[in-house]
Amino acid sequence: MTGTANMIKAMVVSGLAALIAYAMNRLIVSVFGDGAVRLLVPIVEEGLKTGLALTFAVSLPIVHMSFGIYEAIYDVLANRGVGRSRRWLAALLAFLGHSIFGWLTWFFLELGLVSVFAIVLVGTVHACWNIVALAK
């Protein structure tokens, strides 16, 4: 498969992860409340991104970065009651955060960590990121 085909496949896989995450996040928040965005949602998202990247044998960092792009688009288009500059800041942070999480997961896997352990570690970093980012 060519580099372009691999990139497209990774973007499709990340889109699938984003769609599933959107549905699961809504369900999780409806059951556990807004606090789930800080603690439970990060583990779910990291599991989806990494699990699907490994399942479909595509670049893990590209899946995470593409997921960040999808989330960034959502952040810009959603929450119209929030100021434009705050939406764009959220979008930038979504892309940067998911990019960092992808490279960190890849690094842990390259070190030989079991994927579940890498997901939990990076999910914890993601949870800390969300706690800081969502602090008022």
Number of domains forming the structure of the chain: 1
Domain containing residue 113: 3-133
Each residue's pLDDT tens digit, 43-102: 999 999 999 999 999 999 999 999 999 999 999 998 888 888 899 999 999 999 999 999
State whether residue 81 is helix, strand or coil.
coil
Tell whether the model's pLDDT for residue 23 goes beyond 90: yes
CA–CA distance, 135 with 62 (Å, rounded to integer): 28
CA–CA distance, 60 with 5 (Å, rounded to integer): 15
Mean pLDDT, all residues of the chain:
93
Write down the pLDDT at residue 100.
97
Tell whether the model's pLDDT for residue 105 goes beyond 80: yes
